[in-house]
Structure 1
Amino acid sequence: MTDRIPVDFWFDPLCPWAWLTSRWVLEVERVRPVEPRWHIMSLYVLNEDKDIPQQYRELLANAMGPVRVLAAAANKYGGETEGGESAVLGRLYTEIGVRFHNRAELGEDRSKERFAEVLRRALAAAGYDEQLVDAMDSTEYDEEIRSSHATAMELVGEEVGTPVIKVGETAFFGPVVSPTPKGEAAGRLWDGVLLVAGTDGFFELKRSRTRGPIFD
């Protein structure tokens, strides 16, 4: 059996673009010998010292909550789960992402209470203790979150966001793609991304977005 290549993936569950990229990586796993390993980062931490529009800062006001819940679940269940904390993060991320993005269960209400309600449902669906939602208001795992976030930023620099992907010695932000490619199309994109990202001296390839996130 071919050994699978570890693919480290840093995400903030609030970002719809990271969500689409994460689903692409899962498609790639079906057609290429890769194994995703999940890590958390934080849009709140990324932007806390930056000059950003007030509307965006208000959007991020409760952004640490979901990341803290993910960290709490990984700490509670990682030691008893095959695949460790990465497996716990991946499972809960899927349940959160489906509710945040595909089902739009947050709606326009970005209050802490609404976040907590949706996160409880995600925890229950993943088979984890719903009381972990209390971690939204706890700083217990903030040092771990900031450390994981810093690891991602050290790989790609401070001028990017989420997701960050690392394969071997190659790391990059993105790709930003909508909708998520499926099957062999996902594999071809993977091959191309690795080719350009692994080229010495290559830094950027970009064009304006002409569509928003498209969720299946």
Structure 2
Amino acid sequence: MGTAARALRPGKQRGTAPCPEERNVTETTTTPTPVDFWFDPACPWAWMTSRWMLEVEKVRPVEVRWHVMSLAVLNENRDELPEQYREFLTTAWGPVRVCIAAEQKYGSKVLGPLYTALGTRIHNQGLGHKDHDVIVAALEEAGLPAELADFARSDAYDAELRASHQEGISKVGQDVGTPVIAVPGADGEQIAFFGPVVTPAPKGEAAARLWDGTLLVASTPGFYEIKRTRDQGPVFD
């Protein structure tokens, strides 16, 4: 027995295949934790949070699953809104309707690339969300038919949009906005929250620390809110 055990060592050093136990350990991978993210593409703060989540994907074993929600739907029965914001909501229907149409026709896998293409133009490049050509260019970048831009003025998929919106907002309540994030907790219960609202989007280990801390406070029983007044607008870098 002892001689046989010693005889294996030179073979291992010469590059022979590892024993089955070693192979199993080497090939074991961690299944990413799904993170559901509801966004309205017209919202600059949701865009900031989404760029942070993409950074989190690089440094934590998570996988973002994108869903749409709508600020226009959220606020449609509120009469006290400022006129400027009311005008914003009227035009915000366009991009999110295009997103839900793309999802319904081509599956949820297209939402991530389309959101990135739209958000880069709307927010980083400052082109806004009203221009038809902006939506067409984003669709082309995402590998989707330009004809989907016509759904910006169509209510064909409004029922599906409202259902997706309701799925997200029902997890956190009506008194918040976009984005909504939901993730499985350690005890099997889902952790869901609005935000975080942050600018600029943290990167690298800073993104990881914010993620870890957000989950820590959001998973605390009875925790509802921590907030301070924003003293700057979104920083798109």
Question: Is TM more than 0.5 here?
Answer: yes
Uncovered stretches (5+) of structure 2, i.e. residues with no partner: 1-28, 185-189
SS at match of 2:126: coil
- d(CA) in 2 for partners of 1:73 and 1:4? 25
| 1:22 and 2:38 are equivalent in the alignment | no
Q: What is the aligned-residue RMSD (CA, Å)?
A: 0.9
Uncovered stretches (5+) of structure 1, i.e. residues with no partner: 79-84
- 1:89 corresponds in structure 2 to 111
Structure index of larger Rg: 2
- 2:85 corresponds in structure 1 to 56
- 1:174 corresponds in structure 2 to 195
- d(CA) in 2 for partners of 1:147 and 1:135? 17
Report the residue type matching 2:122 in the other structure: F
Structure 1 residue runs of 4 or more that deviate by more than 6 Å after TM superposition = none
1:144-159 matches, cutoff 5 A: 144-159=160-175
- 1:99 corresponds in structure 2 to 121
- d(CA) in 2 for partners of 1:186 and 1:105? 27
Report the residue type matching 1:38 in the other structure: W
- d(CA) in 1 for partners of 2:36 and 2:208? 17
Report the residue type matching 1:74 in the other structure: E
- Aligned match for 1:43, one of 65, 71, 82: 71
- d(CA) in 2 for partners of 1:126 and 1:138? 21
- 2:136 corresponds in structure 1 to 120
SS at match of 1:171: strand
Percent identity of equivalent pairs: 60
- Aligned match for 1:66, one of 95, 104, 107: 95
Aligned residue pairs total 203
Q: How much has 1:161 moved relative to structure 2?
A: 0.2
- d(CA) in 2 for partners of 1:7 and 1:75? 20
- d(CA) in 1 for partners of 2:174 and 2:150? 30
TM-score by length of 2: 0.84
